[in-house]
Chains A and B, each alone.
Chain A
C-alpha cells in the first residue's frame, strides 16, 4: 500500500501527540498524585441510609487536621450544605463521602477540583486539602428533576482558631 510522504509524517506526528497526551495523564496520576473517583467508597442500600453513617450526615474530626464529611444529595438539597453550610477549618484534609437516596445528582464545589456524581447505591469518596479560609458554592450539576436548578449549597473554610472555639 502506497502512502504519501506527507501523510506518513502526519501519522507519525499524530501518534506522538496521542502518546504525549497519555503520558501527561499518567504523569498527573503518578507525579502530583491526581486521584480519580473510584470504587473505594463501596456500595450502600439507598433505601435505608438511616442505618448507615449517612443517618446523621455532617462533619467528623478523624485525626489531627483530618476531617470526614458525609453528604446526602437528595431532591433538591445537600445535607448538610443547603440549609446550613458545610464548615471545615483551614489547613485541613477533608474526605467527602457522598451518596443519594433518590436519583442521580452531581456534586461540584465550584472553583475546585471536587467534581463527582452521587449515584444511588454507590458512595463517592473524594479527598481535598483546604489551605486558606474561603467560601465555596456547591452545585448539583446533574439534572435531577424539576427543581434541579434550585439545588445548591455552600462550603465555608473558616480560620483554624475560630473553628476550634465554636466547634463544628
Chain B
C-alpha cells in the first residue's frame, strides 16, 4: 500500500504543495540562468540591465522563500501524518493554509513581475531582502504577510495532529519525523515574528502612506533576526530527509535517533541569536553584539557537523548491509544509479563544501574580505541551492510515486539529473567563490567598471565568467530534466504497473528509548531559545528604538 492509498486527502495536500514548490523552482531557475548569462556579459538580450533587478528579485523570492517553504510544507505534511499514522484533522483547514500561502505567493510574484511591464503600476524591485527605505508596491508586502501567516497555520495543523495523537498515546515518545517538524516550526514561529513585525508594523503601513518614515537600521535588523533562522528553515527539511529517508535509500537504517533529536533541539536553540553575523559591517551596532552573534554562530556549526557524521555513518552502514567492504570500498556498493539516493548523497557532499565557505563568512574579521561579493551567492548555492534544493528534488523522485500512485516516468533522465546539477553547480559555485575573493560584487547587472580591474587570487576573471555562464546553463538544463520527470510522473497516469517504491522506513539502530525524555520537552526548549534571544537582541534592539521607533527615519524611496 502506498501513502496515497492510506491517506488520499493528505496525499493530495502534499502533492499540491510539492507541485507549487517545483513550479516556483522552474521559474526561479530560468531567472537564475538569465542572471548567470547577463552579469557575465555572455548574453544580455533577455532583459535590460535596469530590469535585471526585477529578475533577481523574482529569483530570490521564488526560490529562497516560495520554493523552499512549499517544499517544506509538503514534506512535513507527509512526515507528520506518516509517522503519527493519522491524517490531518481537517482537510478544510489544510486547504486554508495552503490557499493563504498560494494567494500570498502569487500576489508577491505578480507584483515583482509587474516591474517588467512599464504600463503596470506594480513594482517590487527590492530584492528578497527588501531593505528600507527602498519601497515596493504595498501588494508585495501584503503578499509576503499572507504567505507567512499561511505557513504559521500549516504549523498549527501539524501541532493539532500531534496533540490528537498525544491524546491517544499519552506515554509514547514523539515519533522522530514529527519531532523534527515540530521543533522546526517552533524555531519558525520565534524567528518569523521578526519579519512579521518588520512588514506589518513598519513596511506595509509605510508603503501605504499611513506612517511617514521608518528606521532603516531597525527594519534591517528585524529582517536579519529572521534572515538567519530562515536558512535553517530551508535546511531542516533537508536534514529531515537525510536522517529519516537517506539511510533507508542506502540500504540500511539510521544510526541514532537520540542524536537526531539533539541536533534539532540545538537548531531550535541557536538558529536565531546569530542574525548580527549578516550585519558585521553595518554601522550603528556595537562590536560586542557582533561578537556574541559570532560565538553563537560558531556553536551553530555543531549540529551540522553532527549531522555530517550521522549521514556518512548511516550510508556506510547501508553499504555494508549490501555487502560493501574495505575502508572506502563500501562507497562502491551504494545505489548511485538510484536518483533519490544520488540526489541526497551529492547534496550532502556539496553541503560539506558549503560548510567550509560558511565558516569563512562567519569569521567576523575575515568577513571584510568577502562581504557582499559573489563569494556569498557562491556559498549559498551550495547550501540552500543544492543541499536543500537537490535534496527536495531527490525526495520528489522517491515521494511522487507514493503520493500519486504513479510509477516514476523517464527514469533514465532521473538517473543522470543529480549529476547534471552537481556538475553545473561545481562550475558556477567555485567560480563565484573565487570571483568574490577578487572583490567582484554580488547583486550587480554589470560588474564591469571603467575605473576598476579586479584581480583574481586564483585564476583569471574571464575564466570565472565563463564558468559561471556555462555552470548556470547546465544547472537550468538539470532543472528541465527534473521537471520533465516530475510532471511526467504526475500527469502520466498509473497505468497497470504496480509501484516499485516501498515507503516503509526501518527503525533506527539506536531508538528513542535510549535517550532521556527531557529531549521531548518542547516547552522547555522553547523557553531556553527565547532566553538566548533576549540575551543576544535585548540590548541592541532597545538601543535602536531608544531614540524613537521611527528614528532616525527615512521616507519611502520608490524604485
List residues of A whose CB falls within 8 A of some B CB. 1-4, 6-7, 10-11, 14-15, 17-18, 21-22, 24-25, 28-29, 34-39, 41, 43-47, 98, 102-104, 106, 108, 110-111, 113-117, 119-125, 137, 139-149, 152-154
Contacts and interface: CB of A to CB of B under 8 A. Distances in A.
Interface in B249-286: 255-256, 258-259, 280-286
B442 A141 contact: yes
In the A-B complex, the 4 residue pairs with the smallest Cβ-Cβ separation, listed nearest first, are A137-B452, A121-B552, A141-B441, A124-B283
Contacts of B125: 145-146
B372 A22 contact: no
A18 B362 CA distance: 11
Interface of B: 49-50, 52-53, 56, 125, 127, 131, 133-134, 215-217, 220, 255-256, 258-259, 280-287, 290-291, 294-295, 298-299, 301-302, 305-306, 309, 313, 359, 362-366, 368-369, 371-373, 439, 441-447, 449-455, 510, 514-516, 547, 551-555, 557, 559
Given A18-B301, A106-B441, A122-B216, 16 more contacts: A7-B255, A7-B306, A11-B306, A24-B363, A28-B364, A34-B365, A35-B287, A36-B364, A39-B283, A103-B133, A103-B134, A116-B282, A116-B283, A122-B282, A124-B283, A137-B453
A108 B441 contact: yes
A124 B256 CA distance: 49
Nearest to A9: B309
A103 to B, nearest CB: 5
Contact of A14 (B306, B373, B547, B559): B306
Contacts of B259: 3, 7
A141 to B, nearest CB: 4
A158 to B, nearest CB: 16
A43 B154 CA distance: 41
Contacts of B56: 143
B215 to A, nearest CB: 6
Contacts of B258: 1
A106 B444 CA distance: 12
Given A14-B302, A43-B552, A149 B255 contact: no
A78 to B, nearest CB: 11
Contact of B50 (A1, A39, A146): A146
Nearest to B374: A141
A155 to B, nearest CB: 10
Given A21-B359, A121-B217, A7 B364 contact: no
A121 B291 CA distance: 23
